[in-house]
């Protein structure tokens, strides 16, 4: 069953000890285990048991600017994504490993090399989530007073990805000869300097890692602004996004997929996966109680501080049960534009008070929350998937690992029953899980032209 | 036996598929397995069976300048060290994990974070080998036309290490509270911005990774030039070095240990571990035959190219059976100074022909080679250790994994019989294996001053 039917894709999102800001206070969360291998191994093995396409590790290389609140009441610490994913490569066999690295604060040679290394060590399971980093304070950890402007960040990101993919191509597929008898290790005619000289980077190459099992690691992106979409349409193979309603998600899906042909790409070459925060109960009432119980664990100062942060506006002077004040459009802010606009639109559309908005932001951080039974959750996922709002979902468990375990034990079987989801891995690499083709190497001459 | 006696330390060096340039052609080397997890897992598990203090991964983030020869006849590809070591953290329990990262081409925040993450994930087994990178061509992979000058590289390295250790200190030992009931995750008074503003870096901090199991990952260095020694005396906890003779090694040992008190450090706070390439036979004759057989696998163009590279002088016009031409002193070259001088001194002292020098450089690359029986090798190691030429050794197997396996099965038991080496791990962290104290946190106020 389900073999001929189109199936959806799933990512398991790692965010601290869970996506909900109070995850760490939940009685079943092993918060003291944070940053230990055991904590993450459990997560990865549950996700692999659930036949997830990939694990997805978010990242910002800084602590938040509002240090006092962030440190006192939230879990702002994060293992470096590549270090974490490599450790997980050894304790998993099938699942993809997607990690976030910023183009604003990194060097293309290092990034190309790390993901190529992970792709080799994992046997073809690496993916790079390309971000330009939205938190301004990050600049000050890297010798700059100010964050790069939004459009300049994307310009740099585009060049960065060009350099990285050129480095991934620098060894052709059949460059390695490894003939012990003749002493030929590789064919130097199939190893290419990239000789890139651009606006932001000059990189000679070649990479000191040969062509990887996936050809190239999978490219993931998350920007949903106009600039972000154009960038994704050119280069991304997976887009991670956030939508509150079916209509919005459908609009985005049609818009982004529609931009692909202009770059000579087919709509199938890019998978769109919105984030979903599931809260699972035996009954809808139980799920709502769980959600409320989590919400009660949010320290009062945290919610206000989080919403003020996302909206770049100190809300502490406004009544909690009143509406948001007038705020400017996202064109006037630098970084996290699409998240900003999404939260603002949601507040306006649903006429939320500041207190209600806090509940939304501290939970799913702008992503869709669905509290319900496994069947209700599967219904929602199925509807979005069948109605062309997405190709799959990033599942953001509210707290870990139990939130993921419940999804795997209760929702995944329901999706499988409906033929919407794999019951076993059929592929070997992440590209194969996602149904993405092996990329062509820009340096390889076709047989005809020889 | 051996519990009260001072014991030596051992590192297992990963260099491609073995330290000998022809390692990849050896019939027992799994060259096609290069860059797979299996290849390295086998290595790591053999080293752990041998109760090694640590695995040591060298690195240069570039392919050699002489691309054609390097690619055609040698194995110039390398997994990125942190990616590799994290993957190995999951398949080992005790052994330390030391990785090389250049201060010339990296950002302190990233480096601090990666090693802190590895230290957490491995339960206190991380070490950072601080290098300034000796290969000039590297600059061109990172947007620079020229490599930084030697003294400027060390100036930058010193500041880099200062920033990294400050970031490692930015969370005090007891900053994490994790009190679910009261909702206090951490005490912000114990989380410190580094607010570093220096010549090469400005880094706000704090790190987004809390204090690690070892307090700080262990600092390793390899520079043996005068500048390198001064740097090591101030900051290193392990020094990796290369010496051909007992007298030279003793001289270096006395000189470097003698510099520690000037920085308020005791000689025990720094462990000196020269590299040794062992070729093991049941008889000395068998070992010499093995060595000769490896040497025969060196492609003629490779040896000349390697020696020309180390000595920064094209030797192809000189007769192979004649002496080296006159070459300038190491003060006139930029990068790899100590290796340059060591090779030059060796050639002069032993009056080696170019052909003989090639044999030395393609094997141990300037490190001491010892071909002999397990007892002869143990004798040499014991002599150097007892006569204060070192605190232990980095073992550089000529080819992998067999070269390491033979050392573990034949030489380690001989060292254990003599009481010179542990028969079981007694510590939990790399610091404990090495007998290094947990470092003090610069931000923690002593009880008295409170």
pLDDT, one tens digit per residue, over B293-327 is: 999 999 878 888 888 888 989 998 999 999 999 99
| Confidence at B100, pLDDT banded by 50, 70, 90 | very high
Q: With a threshold of 0.80, does the pTM exceed it?
A: yes
Cα B93 to Cα B308: distance, rounded to the nearest angstrom: 42
Contacts of B137 in chain A (CB under 8 A): 204
pLDDT tier for residue B135 given thresholds of 50, 70 and 90:
confident
Q: With an 8 Å Cβ cutoff, are A107 and B109 in contact? A: no
Bridge-partner residues for B54, per DSSP? B11, B96
Q: Answer whether B233's CB lies under 8 Å from B263's CB.
A: yes
pLDDT at residue B450 greater than cutoff 60: no
Average pLDDT value for residue range B146-164: 92
Homologous superfamily in CATH for domain B9-285+368-434: Luciferase-like domain (3.20.20.30)
Interface test with B, best of A34, A45, A90 (most B CBs within 10 A): A90
- At B144, the pLDDT band (50, 70, 90 cuts) reads confident
Residues A62, A29 contacting (CB under 8 angstroms): no
> What pLDDT score does A35 carry?
96
Distance (Å, whole) CA A417 – CA A439 = 33
Residue B69: which residues within 8 A CB-CB, separation 6 or more?
B301, B302, B305
In the DSSP assignment, the letter for residue B176 is E
Q: Which two tokens stand for residue B250?
A: 């003793």
How far is residue B78's CA from residue B83's CA, in Å, rounded to a whole number? 11
Distance CA A347, CA B293 (A): 76
**What ipTM does this complex have?**
0.94
pLDDT of res. A216? 98
pLDDT given at position B161: 98
Q: Closest residue of B to A90, CA-based?
A: B87
- DSSP helix/strand/coil, A57: strand
Beta strands of B165-245 (E only): which ranges?
176-179, 184-186, 196-197, 202-203, 218-221, 238-241
Using alpha carbons only, give the angle A358, A360, A362 rounded to the nearest 5 degrees: 65
The CA dihedral of A386, A387, A393, A395, to the nearest 10 degrees, is -90
- Is there a contact between A71 and B188 if contact means CB atoms under 8 Å apart? yes
- Per-residue pLDDT of A312-322, as tens digits, reads 899 989 999 99
- Place A447 in a pLDDT band, splitting at 50, 70 and 90: low
Instruction: List helix spans (H) across B174-238.
Output: 226-235
Q: Does A196 touch chain B (CB under 8 A)?
A: no
A89 Cβ neighbours under 8 A, 6+ residues apart: A97, A118, A121, A122, A125, B37, B87, B90
Any B CB within 8 A of A73 CB: yes
Q: For A191, which of B67, B86, B205 is closest by C-beta distance? A: B67
Does B35 contact chain A (CB < 8 Å)?
yes
Q: Are the C-beta atoms of residues A138 and B208 closer than 8 Å to each other?
A: no
Q: What pLDDT score does B379 carry?
A: 98
**Phi, psi (rounded to 5 degrees) for A239:** -120, 125
Tokens of A411: 């929702």
Q: Which residue of B has its CA nearest to A34?
A: B120
In b/e form, how buried is each residue of B308-339, taking b as 16+ CB within 10 angstroms?
A: bbbbeeebeebeeeeebeebeebeebbbbbbb
- According to DSSP, residue B171 is labeled B
Name the more confident of B137 and B170. Answer: B170
pLDDT grade for B88, boundaries at 50, 70 and 90: very high
Dist. CA A219–CA A239, nearest whole Å:
9
Residue with tokens 């260095």: B221
B84 vs A contacts (CB less than 8 Å): 86, 117, 121
For the cut 90, the answer to whether the pLDDT of residue B365 exceeds it is no
Distances (CA, A) of A149 to A136, A241, A308, A309: 10, 21, 21, 18
pLDDT value at A73 more than 80: yes
At residue B448, the pLDDT reads: 56
Tokens for B201, please give them. Answer: 């870096």
Q: Give me the mean pLDDT over the B43-63 stretch.
A: 97
Buried b (16+ CB within 10 A) or exposed e, A400-432: bbbbbbbbbebbbebbbebebbbbeeeeebbbb
Q: How many CA atoms lie within 13 A of B114 on its CB side?
A: 28
Answer whether residue B128 shows pLDDT above 50: yes
Q: How far apart are CA A431 and CA A442, in angstroms?
A: 19
Which A-chain residues 156-175 have CB contacts (< 8 A) with chain B? 175
Judge whether B41 is closer than 8 Å to chain A, CB to CB.
Answer: yes
* B92 near A CB under 8 A: no
Q: Which residues of A touch B210 (CB under 8 A)?
A: 35, 77
d(CA A391, CA A384): 9
Chain-centroid distance of CA A305 in Å reads 24
Going from the C-alpha of B7 to that of each of A224, A426, B386, the distances in angstroms are: 59, 52, 10
A199 CB near a chain B CB, below 8 Å? no
A72 to B193: CB separation less than 8 angstroms, yes or no: no
Q: How far apart are CA B394 and CA B14, in angstroms?
A: 10
SS3 assignment, position A380? helix
In the predicted model, what is the mean pLDDT of chain B? 93
Which CATH fold topology does A9-285+367-434 show? TIM Barrel (3.20.20)
**Minimal CA separation from A38 to chain B, in Å:** 8
Residue A1 — pLDDT band, cuts 50, 70, 90?
A: very low
Q: Quick check: A87 and B82 CB within 8 A?
A: no
Mean pLDDT, residues B38-50 taken together: 98
CA distances from A185 to A49, A181, A182 (A): 39, 10, 9
Q: Residue B356 in 3-state DSSP?
A: helix
Contacting residues for B439 by C-beta, under 8 A, at least 6 apart: B165, B215, B216
Distance from C-alpha of B310 to C-alpha of B364, rounded to nearest angstrom: 13
CA distance A218 to A258: 21
Q: Tell if the CB–CB gap between B141 and A205 is shorter than 8 Å.
A: yes
Question: Is the pLDDT at B332 greater than 80, yes or no?
Answer: no
Chain B contact present for A437, CB below 8 A: no
Count Cα neighbours of A345 within 13 Å in the Cβ-side half-sphere.
14
Write the CA distances from B66 to A185, A194, B19, B357, integer angstroms: 15, 16, 19, 20
Binary contact (B140, A71; C-beta < 8 A): no
From residue B4, alpha-carbon distances to A177, B9, B123, B277, B422 in Å are 52, 15, 27, 29, 11
Is residue B136 within 8 Å of residue B190, measured between CB atoms? Answer: no
* A287 contact partners, CB below 8 Å, separation of at least 6: A279, A280, A281, A371, A372, A373
| Closest CA in chain A for residue B143 | A202
| A450 pLDDT tier (thresholds 50, 70, 90) | very low
Choose the weakest-confidence range: A32-46, A127-141, B215-229, B436-450: B436-450
B142 touching chain A per CB within 8 A: yes
Measured between beta carbons, the chain B residues lying within 8 angstroms of A299 are: 183
Which residues make beta-bridge pairs with B96?
B54
Instruction: Provide the token pair at A320.
Output: 């909690």
Token pair recorded at residue A277: 């925060």
Given B27, B67, B113, which is nearest A188 (Cβ)? B67
Q: What is the mean pLDDT of residues B343-352?
A: 91
Tell me the C-alpha to C-alpha distance, in Å, between residue B426 and each of A96, B51, B94, B382: 37, 10, 10, 22
Are residues A206 and B67, on separate chains, in Cβ contact within 8 Å? yes
Q: Which of B90, B176, B203, B399 to mutate to test the interface with A (most CBs of A within 10 A)?
A: B90
For the record, the structure tokens of A353 come out as: 């008070």
CA distance A39 to B215: 20
pLDDT classification of A2: cutoffs 50, 70, 90: very low
Cβ density class A210-242: b for 16+ within 10 Å, e for less: bbbbbbbbbbbbbbbbebbbbbbbbbbbbbbbb
CB pairs < 8 Å spanning A and B:
227
B297 interfaces chain A, CB cutoff of 8 Å: yes
Residue of A63, A107, A193 with shortest CB distance to B142 = A107
Residue B355 confidence class, pLDDT cut points 50, 70, 90: confident
Q: In angstroms, what separates the C-alpha of A416 from chain B's closest C-alpha?
A: 31
As a whole number of angstroms, the distance between CA A64 and CA B225 comes to 42
The reply to whether omega before B206 is within 30° of 0 (cis) is yes
**Cα of A19 to nearest chain B Cα, Å:** 16
Which residues on chain A are in Cβ contact (under 8 Å) with B294?
none
Compute the average pLDDT of residues A23-49: 97
A429-441 pLDDT tens trace:
999 999 999 999 9
Average pLDDT, integer, range B70-97 = 97
> With 80 as the cut, is the pLDDT of residue A378 above it?
yes
Alpha-carbon gap, residue A385 to A388, rounded angstroms = 6
Kindly state the average pLDDT of the residues B333-346.
82
**B95 has pLDDT over 90:** yes
Question: Domain spans of chain A?
Answer: 9-285+367-434
- DSSP annotation of B318: S
323-382 in A: which are within 8 Å (CB) of B? none
**Which residues of chain A neighbour B63 with C-beta distances below 8 Å?**
191, 206-208
Cβ contact A280:A407 at 8 Å: yes
Residue A285: is its pLDDT beyond 60?
yes
Specify the DSSP class assigned to residue B212.
B
pLDDT band of B447, cuts 50, 70, 90: low
Q: What are phi and psi of B293, to 5 degrees?
A: -65, -40
Q: Give percent above pLDDT 90 in chain B.
A: 80
Q: A191 to chain B: nearest residue by CA?
A: B71
pLDDT of residue B420: 98
Tell me how far apart the alpha carbons of residues B383 and B372 are, in angstroms, rounded to a whole number.
Answer: 15
State yes or no: pLDDT of A253 exceeds 80: yes
Which pLDDT score is estimated for B2? 40
Higher pLDDT, A183 or A355: A183
Peptide bond into B414 cis (omega under 30): no
Q: Three-state DSSP class for A49?
A: helix
Q: Closest Cα partner for A220 from A130, A155, A159, A85?
A: A130
User: In chain A, how long is the greatest CA-to-CA distance?
Assistant: 79
* Nearest CB partner across the interface for B83, out of A68, A121, A188: A121
């Amino acid at each position: 069953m389900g073999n001929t039917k189109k199936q959806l894709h799933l990512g398991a999102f790692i965010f601290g000890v869970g996506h909900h800001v109070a995850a760490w206070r939940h009685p079943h969360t092993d918060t003291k285990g944070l940053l230990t291998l055991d904590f993450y191994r459990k997560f990865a093995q549950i996700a692999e048991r659930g036949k997830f396409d990939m694990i997805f590790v978010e990242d910002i290389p800084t602590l938040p600017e509002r240090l006092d609140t962030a440190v006192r009441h939230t879990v702002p610490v994060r293992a470096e994504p590549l270090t974490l994913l490599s450790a997980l490569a050894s304790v998993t066999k099938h699942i993809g490993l997607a990690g976030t690295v910023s183009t604003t604060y990194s060097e293309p040679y290092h990034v190309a090399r790390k993901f190529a290394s992970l792709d080799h060590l994992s046997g073809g399971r690496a993916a790079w989530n390309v971000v330009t980093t939205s938190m301004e304070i990050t600049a000050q950890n890297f010798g700059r007073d100010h964050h790069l402007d939004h459009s300049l960040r994307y310009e740099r990101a585009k060049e960065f990805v060009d350099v990285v993919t050129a480095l991934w191509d620098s060894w052709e597929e059949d460059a390695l000869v490894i003939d012990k008898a003749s002493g030929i290790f590789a064919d130097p005619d199939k190893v290419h300097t990239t000789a890139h000289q651009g606006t932001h980077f000059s990189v000679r190459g070649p990479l000191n890692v040969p062509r990887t099992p996936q050809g190239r690691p999978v490219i993931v992106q998350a920007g949903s602004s106009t600039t972000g979409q154009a960038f994704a349409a050119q280069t991304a193979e997976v887009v991670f996004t956030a939508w509150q309603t079916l209509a919005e998600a459908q609009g985005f899906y049609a818009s982004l997929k529609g931009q692909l042909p202009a770059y000579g790409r087919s709509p199938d070459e890019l998978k769109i996966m919105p984030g979903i925060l599931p809260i699972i109960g035996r009954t809808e009432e139980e799920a709502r109680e769980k959600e409320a119980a989590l919400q009660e664990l949010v320290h009062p100062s945290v919610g206000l501080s989080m919403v003020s942060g996302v909206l770049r506006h100190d809300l502490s002077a406004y009544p909690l049960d009143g509406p948001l004040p007038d705020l400017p459009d996202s064109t006037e802010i630098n970084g996290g534009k699409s998240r900003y606009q999404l939260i603002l639109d949601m507040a306006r559309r649903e006429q939320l008070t500041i207190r209600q908005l806090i509940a939304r932001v501290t939970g799913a951080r702008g992503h869709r929350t669905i509290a319900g039974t496994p069947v209700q959750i599967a219904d929602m996922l199925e509807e979005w998937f069948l109605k062309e709002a997405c190709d799959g979902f990033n599942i953001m468990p509210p707290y870990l690992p139990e939130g993921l375990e419940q999804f795997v034990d209760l929702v995944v079987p329901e999706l499988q029953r409906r033929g919407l989801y794999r019951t076993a891995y059929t592929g070997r690499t992440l590209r194969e899980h996602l149904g993405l083709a092996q990329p062509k190497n820009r340096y390889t001459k076709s047989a005809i032209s020889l």
